[in-house]
């Protein structure tokens, strides 16, 4: 029997919005989704807006997360933000290894693994992002790339260490391009990701871990993705900047 995994949808606001716009969006998301209990909803604002958005979400069911973190607790690291800083402004979640951190900022597998451990040590719930580039998919390396990234991140950890882990599969070729993996493509990769997690952390953990799909998700594509057995949620980029679109994606779970 397939276990019941509560879907989780995250909105990654990336480097967008002003403070006033972020506060307004936070309020709108709360108004539209706070009473919708069928899906766990998360938002990931830019660092400068975390506290202000967190205040708009206070006492709501919507989780606050950060887009990244630094591996050190403090020190001469200009521009960096530590896990302890994130916790102090109300963050419960954090993205680790987002494709833009990997491919724009150069975060390698070892650094992603270190960030994951720092997040866990601080009590943050991590969303571990993995995914292949277009040329890797075309070369038939999709499964190998995702398995390599998983092995590197989870090496030495046990299932009990990562009980709150969410994995986000982000095909890099589908982020910000308008291209979306078909539900069948997403399911194929998600099933292999779950199998790989089972090999690393045990079948019992793999059956309950939630795996999101991320890559140009829109309201019109969300229901088809949600309909697949191993797609347990969505990580939304541009569409999360409009509360109406984001709410439609979250509610597509029951479509």
Which residues have a catalytic role annotated?
98, 170
Q: Give 110's Cβ-side CA count (13 Å radius).
A: 0
CA pair distance 182, 74, nearest whole angstrom: 43
DSSP letter at 174?
Answer: G
The residues facing 236 across adjacent strands are 11
CA–CA dist 12, 159 (Å, integer): 26
| Secondary structure of 36-64 as H, E, C letters | CCCCEEEEECCHHHHHHHHHHCCCCCCEE
Question: Are the CB atoms for 128 and 113 separated by under 8 Å?
Answer: no
Cβ(250)–Cβ(41) below 8 Å: yes
């Amino acid at each position: 029997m397939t276990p019941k995994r509560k879907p989780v949808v995250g909105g990654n606001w990336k480097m967008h919005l002003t403070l006033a716009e972020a506060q307004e969006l936070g309020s709108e998301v709360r108004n539209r989704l706070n009473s919708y209990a069928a899906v766990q909803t998360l938002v990931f604002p830019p660092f400068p807006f975390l506290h202000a958005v967190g205040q708009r979400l206070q006492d709501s069911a919507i989780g606050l997360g950060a887009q990244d973190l630094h591996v050190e607790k403090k020190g001469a690291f200009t521009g960096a933000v530590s896990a302890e800083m994130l916790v102090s402004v109300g963050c419960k979640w954090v993205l680790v290894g987002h494709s833009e951190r990997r491919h724009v900022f150069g975060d390698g597998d070892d650094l992603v693994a270190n960030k994951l451990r720092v997040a866990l040590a601080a009590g943050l719930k991590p969303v571990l992002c993995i995914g292949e580039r277009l040329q890797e998919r075309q070369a038939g390396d999709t499964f190998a790339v995702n398995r390599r990234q998983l092995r590197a991140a989870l090496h030495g950890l046990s299932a009990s260490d990562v009980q709150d882990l969410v994995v986000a599969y982000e095909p890099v070729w589908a982020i910000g391009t308008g291209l979306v993996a078909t539900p069948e493509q997403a399911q194929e990769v998600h099933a292999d990701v779950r199998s790989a997690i089972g090999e690393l952390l045990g079948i019992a953990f793999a059956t309950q871990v939630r795996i999101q799909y991320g890559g140009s998700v829109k309201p019109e594509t969300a229901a088809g993705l949600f309909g697949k057995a191993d797609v347990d949620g969505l990580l939304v980029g541009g569409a999360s900047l409009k509360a109406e679109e984001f709410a439609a994606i979250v509610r597509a779970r029951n479509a």
